[in-house]
Structure 1
Amino acid sequence: MSRIPPIKITPIKLIIPAMFALTLFPVFYKIEAQDLKLPQCQDEEIVNTVVDFFISESVWSAYGESKIKEMINSSIHTANLTLKNSCVPMRRQSGKLYQVDMTIQAFDPDLASYRNQLLRVTEPTIIKEITQKPNHYYALVVDDLPDDILGKTDVYLDPQFLILSDQAEKYTLEHELGHLANAWHDDTSWNSSLSKYLEEYTPDAHKNELHAYARGYNCAGRRTIMSQSSVYYLQLPIYSSPDIFFGDETCGDHEHADNARQLREYARRLKDKMKNNV
């Protein structure tokens, strides 16, 4: 096999808009914002996070810089709206944009294959600087994911790395970042799947980060951000929470669907990591 030569990466400053996880989303429609009833949030220190984006050359060529910025701006805006609505003391911020050669020899590359290729073609200090900061993430945008997969993460492979499809919707970025905070989908077999995941896949050091309440929810025929129910097409910019209502229907459950709590706890742990990382 011939060695793939590294490509020169050009950084561009811009405002930028699980567990193994696959994100599959249908088309989104406009929601009736006036029907969304949000709680009064407690005053807490906001944890700032940064997302750097690595755009494959084929995506860059197909869309161009202006369109890429537009799509990422929309994703970051939606992420921050979701966090604010859910009383999560965390904010997504602008990072850097890189153009990279993501030519992969594997026929059916998995998450690790994409990450390894990114590490091969990227100046080593770039990824190293990102991973040394617990509040930094790096997102790879590609155009060769299967049509129904819009995002991928694996918190145990790399808790700061995610992949987005060029077809990703504005909710996909925060959905994948939610997975990196151990937020789950609306799994009807939650009890058995959680037990299996804890037993077979979760390192001992991370078992206390998985909770039965950390899953998505559907309310009033709509989906919270971590829900992947194929029955509901309307998406709400919220994490599941028993304190949030759409109309008269609650959008969560204290015991089985409170991803907003999961994200708040994650934000607090992240804040402690940042203080210890100084």
Structure 2
Amino acid sequence: MKLKVVSICLIVGTAFVSALLYFDSQKLVLSQCADEEKVETWVQFVFDYSILNDFSIEALEERIGEDLALSNLILANSCVPMIRKSAGYEFFDAHNAKPEDMLSSHYELNLQHSSLLERAYQEPNFYVVLVLSEDSSYFDFEYKIAETWVDLFPNFVVSDVRAGPLALEHELGHLAWAQHDLETLSSQVQGRTLESMTAEDNQLQIKRYAHAALCGDSGTIMSYEKNIVPIYSSPNITYQGRVCGDAESADNARLLTEYARALRAKVDARSW
């Protein structure tokens, strides 16, 4: 059975450019999802205090809700048995400790909120997202707006407050080892292989099918296309009459499903 979804239009920012998220009930055709228990994942947000100069608490809470709602839409559209929930939010003082990169962000956050990072280390379904203000951010907005380092910090995201709602699931996708589309990835690795850039213990996490896809005039969530369809790549989904994936090279929905099932097994094993 094929399913169609309700149309919606949003303009948001991603890593390189503003992205147009548009999907139409007549153009996006989803597959029927199996009836499967969803693993719960918890996302803890930590905001740079200076963000409060530009955003109210209510606005930040609304942002959290919007980001997670979009993440869950993408997961549901892709038949990934996983749901994202908010673990709440804290604040981080970057006034005297402005991060310069991913490593220093993790280090400085650990000085102020070590319990959160310890929880992320202990609980595989708990993620910490550090959101930096424009003044404290080390990102070049034209080049990158959020990042992860799954090889080193498998449950940690750093983001610029200017990142749009799409950025959260894009980065959480990276933490499941989902990759960009092949053309973008090729330009980024510049002749190297992902295996050569990954610790030996984690090289089995790299799957040949774990890439984003382009379909119609858009790309899936892990792509760098200007137009983004709210799905992970899958050969079982079509947009504008074009298949949004390939079983051999572009099936991030499969990757995320495998990740979710493995995560559920770990969570169940920890339950007392």
1:117 aligns with 2:128: no
Deviates more, 1:200-209 or 1:233-242: 200-209
Give the structure 2 partner of residue 270 of structure 1: 263
For the residues of structure 1 that align with 2:105 and 2:24, how far apart are their CA atoms?
38
Shift of 1:60: 2.4
Q: 1:170 to 1:190 in 2, by over 3 A?
A: closer
Give the structure 2 partner of residue 67 of structure 1: 59
Q: 1:73 to 1:25 in 2, by over 3 A?
A: farther
8 A contact 2:72–2:83 mirrored in 1: yes
Shift of 1:129: 2.5
1:258 is aligned with what amino acid?
D
Q: 1:29 to 1:158 in 2, by over 3 A?
A: closer
How well do the aligned residues superpose, as a CA RMSD in angstroms? Answer: 2.1
Matching residue within 215, 219, 232 for 1:219: 215
Matching residue within 124, 127, 133 for 1:137: 127
Shift of 1:70: 1.4
Give the structure 1 partner of residue 140 of structure 2: 146
Shift of 1:76: 0.3
Shift of 1:104: 5.7
Shift of 1:189: 7.2
Q: 1:189 to 1:117 in 2, by over 3 A?
A: closer
Give the structure 2 partner of residue 251 of structure 1: 244
1:89 aligns with 2:111: no
Matching residue within 183, 190, 193 for 1:196: 193
| Other structure's SS at 1:99 match | strand
1:48 aligns with 2:44: no
Shift of 1:190: 5.6
Shift of 1:29: 4.4
For the residues of structure 2 that align with 1:132 and 1:210, how far apart are their CA atoms?
23
Give the structure 2 partner of residue 127 of structure 1: 117
Q: 1:65 to 1:33 in 2, by over 3 A?
A: farther
Q: Report Cα offsets for 1:98-141 as digits up to 9, x if no partner.
A: 011023656x811111111111122x333322321110000000
Matching residue within 188, 191, 207 for 2:203: 207
Shift of 1:25: 3.8
For the residues of structure 2 that align with 1:85 and 1:189, how far apart are their CA atoms?
24
Shift of 1:24: 2.7
Matching residue within 72, 78, 82 for 1:80: 72
TM-score computed with the length of structure 1 as normaliser: 0.84
TM-score computed with the length of structure 2 as normaliser: 0.86
Give the structure 2 partner of residue 242 of structure 1: 235
Q: Report Cα offsets for 1:2-48 as digits up to 9, x if no partner.
A: xxxxxxxxxxxxxxxxxxxx933423244323311000111211110
Q: 1:256 to 1:91 in 2, by over 3 A?
A: same
Q: Report Cα offsets for 1:237-277 as digits up to 9, x if no partner.
A: 10000100012111111111110001001111111221233
Larger strand share, 1 or 2:
2
For the residues of structure 2 that align with 1:189 and 1:142, how far apart are their CA atoms?
26
Q: Report Cα offsets for 1:217-238 as digits up to 9, x if no partner.
A: 1110111000013xxx221110
1:78 is aligned with what amino acid?
L
For the residues of structure 2 that align with 1:104 and 1:152, how far apart are their CA atoms?
22
For the residues of structure 2 that align with 1:189 and 1:73, how far apart are their CA atoms?
30
Unaligned runs of 5+ in 2: 1-13
Shift of 1:154: 0.4
For the residues of structure 2 that align with 1:60 and 1:261, how far apart are their CA atoms?
39
1:261 aligns with 2:254: yes
| Other structure's SS at 1:167 match | coil
| Other structure's SS at 1:152 match | strand
| Other structure's SS at 1:58 match | helix
